């Protein structure tokens, strides 16, 4: 017997690496000191870029959004979801992304599928100024169903120590500015898939007028990166806290940036909830409290700033290309909870 007979195709693995190498090299920044294929990725931190640098790291996946990719055969956006999610996770602490690594595991390695996935990773890395310096592609026969895979990402960024955003200066009276999401992003898909495919019994190619496209288009909309909108705010030091609205929605994520003695009051009518969320709620008969604890409800990032800086924050975000940022609430005295009014 040989390895191929047991389900692992070394030649397919080599072909995958060959395809990925060019994609990864296109993301390299001056700090990269190694090539794809090394045992470890080497990166030199520029000592002049960050004063008293602090490294910030995160790891994440894209959850059951992958199931929609499997159903549709569309794999070129999943990698971008992964990168942008990780970029946002370190951005909330003020960090600029430096480099990224990915882990792709599958039962039977298909180089053309892996190439599509990693093309999304590379595209988002370039858009965020982040180098893809390595990763792992694992072929695990018998572990994953045929045609399925899982992917995880690992990011490292840096911020000057005095520029770390930790929410310690947040006080009652501060303003909450919401930045729009581009859809579900990468959270709530287990519930969304159940509503769409089991309750409504829609197919991925069904056109839904409220979605402005097909079911697949709506569910595979790329998780948005907020780096270019938040960077000007960090540079001008008008940010007290940031919350990436991921799993748990506003209800669970906003308190993570609030200090003791502070809570949040959200004005639900201060922004228009996108039709996608209204359709899911109606078809699934999902209570309001569950919607706000499962989905982002159209708000992907929340900026906490002093009341005197709120208009400036909105102006800076608008100048960076997002005209729909809005005041969505205030910080109030309380025990790190969120109240909707």
Domains with residue ranges and CATH for the chain: 4-163 (3.30.1330.10), 175-340 (3.90.650.10)
Which run of H or E residues covers position 119?
A: helix 111-127
What is the token pair recorded at 139?
């072929």
- Number of H-type helices and E-type strands within the chain: 11, 12
Low-confidence residues of the chain: pLDDT under 50: none
> What is the pLDDT at residue 180?
98
Distance between CA atoms of 252 and 259, rounded to whole angstroms?
Answer: 14
Does pTM top 0.75 for this prediction?
A: yes
Distance between CA atoms of 70 and 64, rounded to whole angstroms?
Answer: 10
Pick from 175, 170, 232, 197: nearest CA to 72 = 197
CB atoms within 10 A of CB 265: 17
Q: Do 254 and 264 contact (CB within 8 A), yes or no?
A: yes
Burial of 47 from C-beta contacts in 10 A (0-12 / 13-18 / 19+): exposed
Pick from 165, 150, 133: nearest CA to 44 = 133
> What is the pLDDT at residue 17?
81
Chain segment 125-172, per-residue pLDDT in tens: 999 999 999 999 998 988 998 889 999 999 999 999 999 999 999 999
Task: Give me the count of residues in the chain.
Answer: 341
> What is the pLDDT at residue 36?
87
> What is the pLDDT at residue 236?
96
Distance between CA atoms of 223 and 234, rounded to whole angstroms?
Answer: 21
């Amino acid at each position: 017997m040989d390895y191929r007979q047991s389900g692992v195709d070394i030649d397919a693995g080599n072909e995958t690496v060959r395809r990925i190498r060019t994609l990864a090299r296109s993301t390299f920044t001056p700090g990269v000191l190694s090539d794809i294929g090394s045992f470890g990725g080497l990166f030199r931190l520029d000592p002049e870029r960050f004063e008293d640098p602090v490294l910030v790291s995160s790891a994440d996946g894209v959850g059951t959004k992958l199931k929609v990719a499997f159903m549709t055969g569309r794999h070129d956006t999943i990698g971008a979801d992964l990168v942008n999610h990780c970029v946002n996770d370190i951005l909330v602490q003020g960090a600029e992304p430096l480099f990224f690594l990915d882990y792709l595991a599958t039962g039977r390695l298909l180089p053309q599928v892996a190439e599509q996935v990693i093309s999304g990773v590379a595209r988002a890395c370039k858009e965020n100024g982040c180098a893809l310096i390595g990763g792992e592609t694992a072929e695990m026969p018998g572990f994953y169903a045929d045609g399925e895979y899982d992917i995880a990402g690992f990011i490292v960024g840096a911020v000057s120590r005095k520029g770390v955003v930790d929410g310690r200066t947040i006080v009652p009276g501060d303003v909450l500015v919401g930045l729009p999401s581009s859809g579900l992003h990468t959270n709530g898909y287990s519930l969304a898939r159940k509503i769409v495919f089991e309750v409504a019994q829609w197919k991925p190619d069904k056109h839904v007028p409220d979605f402005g496209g097909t079911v697949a288009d709506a569910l595979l909309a790329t998780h948005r990166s907020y780096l270019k909108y938040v960077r000007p705010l960090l540079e001008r030091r008008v940010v007290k806290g940031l919350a990436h609205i991921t799993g748990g929605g506003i209800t669970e994520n906003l308190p993570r940036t609030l200090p003791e003695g502070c809570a949040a009051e959200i004005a639900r009518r201060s922004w228009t909830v996108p039709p996608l969320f209204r359709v899911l709620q109606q078809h699934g008969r999902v209570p309001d409290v569950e919607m706000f604890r499962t989905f982002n409800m159209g708000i992907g990032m929340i900026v906490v700033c002093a009341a005197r800086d709120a208009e400036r924050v909105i102006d800076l975000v608008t100048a960076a290309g997002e005209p729909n940022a809005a005041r969505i609430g205030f910080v109030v005295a309380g025990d790190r909870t969120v109240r909707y009014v």
